[in-house]
Amino acid sequence: MKSSFTILILIIIPLLVIGQTGKMTTEKYREDFNYFWKRINNEYSYFDKKQTDWQKVKEIYGQGIDSVSRREQFVSLLEKALYEIYDHHAILNTNTTLSYRLVPSGTDIWAEYVNGKPTITEVRKGFGSESSGVTAGMEVIAVNDIPIGIAVESLLPSSLKHPDMEANNFALRLVLAGDHTKQRKFTLQYREKTTDYYPDKNDLLLENIKHLSHFETRLFGNIGYIKINDCLYNTDIIPEFDSVMQSLQKTTALIIDLRETPGGGNTIVARAMMSWFINKEHFYQKHEYPADEMMTGIKRSWMEIVSPRKDKKYTKPLVILCDHWTASLGEAIVIGFDALKRPFTKIIGTRMARLNGAVYSYEMPNTKILFSFPAEKLYTVMGLPREKYIPEILVDPMTQASRKAPDIFILRALSYLKNKH
């Protein structure tokens, strides 16, 4: 069933593999696989930037159905089929204990190939990789003693028409995220020194991420600060956010930190937050549904609007912080603030998770497995694909300065704001 809102909550804890009702047969698994394949074939909106031969995917993985006799095997087959489009926003809403964690919500490392080398480009604050000493700029040599080239190769798509480095980046991040049971060992090189790191030695922190509060607030002198802790899917937080904003009305400027919002969300929450910072209606993002054009030849696209709310207004300077764990709805909020062109407002951070589009979710008829994938393309109001957006003030965690500073993002924000009042 298509989701009512284009919402996705990326679940990062291990999900129980729930048995389906009734006896499953090879034919029932095949029916579910064909349903899965056809939905993606008809509605996935980013084939135009992939090298995936989706027809070949049907041939490769359809053959594997004959050997499926258990739900776990079927889930693993579906996961491998999804990896063929190497899209972190295309997922199953279930997993096995051996499934790779979701990226970015279930990982504490962001990495990609830089000058041909598998490189850590950012580390998530407050998790095992950071506490074990892993920092941006390190080259990945091996994971759990498997050379990184071999580990990545095992996850590369089998259906590509031509090689695509984005597929390698996708596989690299999965390897570093690990599965739901095994402790990770990273062998990393920095300045010609190779060292082993054990991000999960104290606990599998990524399996049970629990924030003590929805919002963290503090003051830097007269500058207010709000950190949002992965709760953008919960409309119940709107009154709480309103209360926090009321408590900070006497500040001279404000920082909103979206660096811990990897789990998706609800656009109602996004509009509620942005509404505090406008005095008239604004477009904040553009949607496009390519499936309509494929079926009818008629393009369908529309703008989404944010509207002000009575007695909800903050007019002072503002900074929005983002990084690779600003994902999906977090990214929509960032491009929304950019679209408002509000005076004395800056977006500061790294590139974000770059998750493609807005997802739709469907349920397979027999196993009842849910799967989600981007069916709408999303753009800034100026027509730039959301996943290509770059903050106006770009932070590079791989620089020596950012390695030494306690939080280079906040330092950049304070530096900007102190010159604006």
CATH number at residue 356: 3.90.226.10
Q: What pLDDT shows up at residue 419? A: 82
Residue 62's Cβ-count burial label (10 Å; 0-12, 13-18, 19+) is middle
Q: Are residues 36 and 65 in the same domain?
A: yes
**H or E element in which residue 28 lies:** helix 26-43
Q: Give me Rg for the CA atoms of the chain.
A: 22
Give me the pLDDT at residue 252, please.
97
The reported pTM is 0.92
Low-confidence residues of the chain, pLDDT below 70? Answer: 1-22, 401, 421
Q: Give the bridge partners for 286, in sequence order.
A: 303, 379
Indicate which CATH number applies to the domain containing 141: 2.30.42.10
Sheet with 393-394, edge to edge strand ranges: 215-220, 223-228, 253-257, 318-322, 345-349, 393-394
Q: How far apart are CA 91 and CA 153, in angstroms?
A: 20
pLDDT at 22: 65
Residue 38's DSSP bridge partners are: none
Angle, helix 238-247 to helix 267-274, in steps of 10 degrees: 20
| 326 and 405 share one domain | yes
Residue 215 sits in the same domain as residue 194: no
Are 379 and 394 found together in one domain? Answer: yes
Residues with Cβ < 8 Å from 82, sequence gap 6 or more? 90, 91, 92, 371, 373
Instruction: Specify whether 1 is located in the same domain as 94.
Output: yes
Average pLDDT, the chain: 93
In a shared domain, residues 188 and 214: no
**Full 3-state SS string of 214-225:** CEEEEEECCEEE
Which residue from 354, 340, 344 is spatially nearest to 319, judged by alpha carbons?
Answer: 344
Q: Are residues 1 and 33 in the same domain?
A: yes
- Say what the pLDDT of residue 421 is: 61
If DSSP codes are grouped into helix, strand and coil, which group holds residue 205?
Answer: helix
**Using the 8-state DSSP alphabet, how is residue 107 labeled?**
-
Alpha-carbon gap, residue 301 to 286, rounded angstroms: 7
Select from 318, 307, 381 the least CA-distant residue to 344.
318
What residues are paired with 224 via a beta bridge? 219, 254
Residues 216 and 113 grouped into a single domain: no
- List the beta bridge partners of residue 227: 216, 257
**What is the Cα–Cα distance from 282 to 180, expressed in whole angstroms?**
42
Of the residues 162, 186, 207, which one is the last residue of a structural domain? Answer: 207
248 & 221 share domain: yes
276 lies in the same domain as 335: yes
Omega within 30 of 0 (cis) for the link into 397: no
Beta strand 139-143 with 146-147 is antiparallel
Q: Are strands 318-322 and 253-257 parallel, antiparallel or unpaired?
A: parallel
Q: Could you say which DSSP state residue 267 is in?
A: H
pLDDT at residue number 202: 84
- Residue 267 is part of which domain span? 1-104+209-421
Q: What is the DSSP letter of 102?
A: P
**Distance from C-alpha of 5 to C-alpha of 12, rounded to nearest angstrom:** 21
pLDDT number for residue 400: 72
Residues 347 and 255 in one domain: yes
Widest distance between CA atoms in the chain: 68
Domain end, chosen from 207, 222, 244, is at: 207
Last residue of a domain, one of 149, 182, 207: 207
Q: Are residues 195 and 232 in the same domain?
A: no
Strand, helix or coil for residue 285:
strand
Count of domains forming the chain: 2
Give residue-wise pLDDT tens across range 358-376. Answer: 999 999 999 999 999 999 9
